[in-house]
Amino acid sequence: MDGRAARTGQGFDRQGRDQVHRQEMDMDWQTSFPALARENILVTGGGGFIGAALVRALLRIGAKVTVLGRHAYPELAALGASCLQADIRDAAAVQKAAGGVGCVFHVAARASIWGPRAEYMAINLQGSRNVLAACRREGVPVLVHTSTPSVVFDRKDLAGVDEEQAYATQPLCSYAASKIPAEQAVLAANGASLKTAAIRPHLVWGPGDRNLIPRLAARARAGKLAVVGRGSNMVDITYIDNAVYAHLLAGQNLLTSATAAGQAFFIGQEKPVNLWQWINALLFRLGIPQVRRRVPLPLAYGVGAVLELAHTLAKSPQEPGMTRFLALQLARSHWFSHARAERLLGYRPLVDTATGVERLLAWMSGEDLVPPR
């Protein structure tokens, strides 16, 4: 335990904010990651939310970056990245992209919670196997894998658990079911010629996020959001810059001391938040009525089961309004110890939650992502 249990809550004092601001301002990115700055780096899924932010950070420190993704990314190319348009399921294309690379950040994944399981397995599991095979064949020495805390979420509350927590044995969504064996394969591949690590950022949000917070705000505006359970559950959240920072720290470590090799790392903010207090505070700032309606967890779970069955029988591509996994995520606590990341990676959040919220709201306003009244 890293002492975060004593710091749970919603507020963040001024002294804490000032300390984080100083840390962020004092960081010299180029001198903080000298090993990464010297490498040719491949980022799979570099066009996604986390991937694109990681690419920009790597370019900022002076690394030569290649992006492997399904689309063209002119905005990243304009910044200096080389972009290869290919699918992670294409083993030959992945191997070609890995040639001459000194470090791979494997971020590509199908991350939604609903869809055909075969597709999740093909992208998240077989895609990861393709990356591993490419690293071995091309002699890539370092692989940092973007994973998720969902690999240990087994329907019960998780409060301050560390990386010794067992993998979930009954994952309720295809995303988690595919990410478990993918992470296991990556960590098992760690050895003398290939150093690997897995980063598990939780509920990543911030500027550039067009999914989590905008969708939540739209559902609340439409009156389709309700507190599931007692509303007292604590959760970890991760501002995008902090998720990127953890990836950079892992890459730098594996290229130098490699004390993080073969390890997974939970990543989050300075402390967990009460999920529904945090959501309602965000909605208030967005001018959206706060969520007051409550639904018991057993009812939400049962509705999720019925909707999953109905969507499956109808072969609907649309995500159900509720699933069993979502009901549990909205009602259960899921926050984690960051002690291992602090000890082995030197991880501390660069951007505190209060500052991150201000940046998110400013970005959403500029991008016209605030739901209309």
Long-range pairs for 359-364 at CB < 8 Å and ≥24 separation?
359/206, 359/207, 360/205, 360/206, 360/207, 360/209, 360/213, 361/282, 361/285, 361/286, 362/207, 363/206, 363/207, 363/208, 364/213, 364/214, 364/286
In the set 73, 120, 175, 239, the catalytic residue is: 175
- 175 catalytic per annotation: yes
Cα dist. 70→48, 85, 123, 144 in Å? 10, 5, 12, 20
Measured between alpha carbons, how far is 234 from 280 in angstroms, rounded to an integer? 14
Please tell me whether residue 86 adopts helix, strand or coil conformation.
coil
- Residue 199 bridge partners (DSSP): 146, 265
| DSSP conformation class of 115 | S
Residues acting as catalytic residues = 175
